Amino acid sequence: MESPCPLFVLNGPNLNMLGRREPDLYGTATLDEIQQRTERLAAELKLACDFRQTNHEGVMVDWIQEAALREAAVIINPAGFSFGCVPVLDALKLLRQPLIEVHLTNIHRRPPPYTHSLVSQAATGVICGLGPTGYLLAVRAVAEALSAQRSGKS
């Protein structure tokens, strides 16, 4: 039986406060609720989900490097690391598996400095503005990309 493909779901600063932080902008779902839904779908799609959150840039860089060494796919909601964190971008460039960037809000409709994500330069794809559903769409996108790789259709 084939072992599940590793999938890191990495969350940046202040996302641990979802449900409390600006609910009019970010909604009322907590990160724990998003994690439960994401892990459930990942398991259904035969992905070994490792869901994490940090408020610290160096920790995020370490996790991305770990994902690269484990040949893991990555879904990242970089939050505040999106808009000026070159070390995170440089670490993401190490990845060889699909990298999907997720934002709860549509960053393109937000005021500066929230409109231009550096992370997008390394991402396979970007999902923004769909709230927590964006995580589930990202899991499906990773599963399809990995399936295409395995069948030689990438």
Active site residues: 26, 103
5 phi, psi to nearest 5 deg: -70, 135
- CA quadruple 45, 97, 8, 102: dihedral sign: negative
Cα–Cα nearest to 7, from 60, 33, 43: 43
Rounded alpha-carbon distances, angstroms, from residue 72 to 4, 94, 96, 124: 11, 11, 8, 14
In the three-class reduction of DSSP (H, G, I as helix; E, B as strand; rest coil), residue 14 is classed as: coil
Q: What residues does 48 pair with on adjacent strands? A: 6
- Tokens for 123, please give them: 């991402």
Contact in structure between 68 and 99 (CB atoms under 8 Å): no
Which strand (E) or helix (H) includes residue 121? none
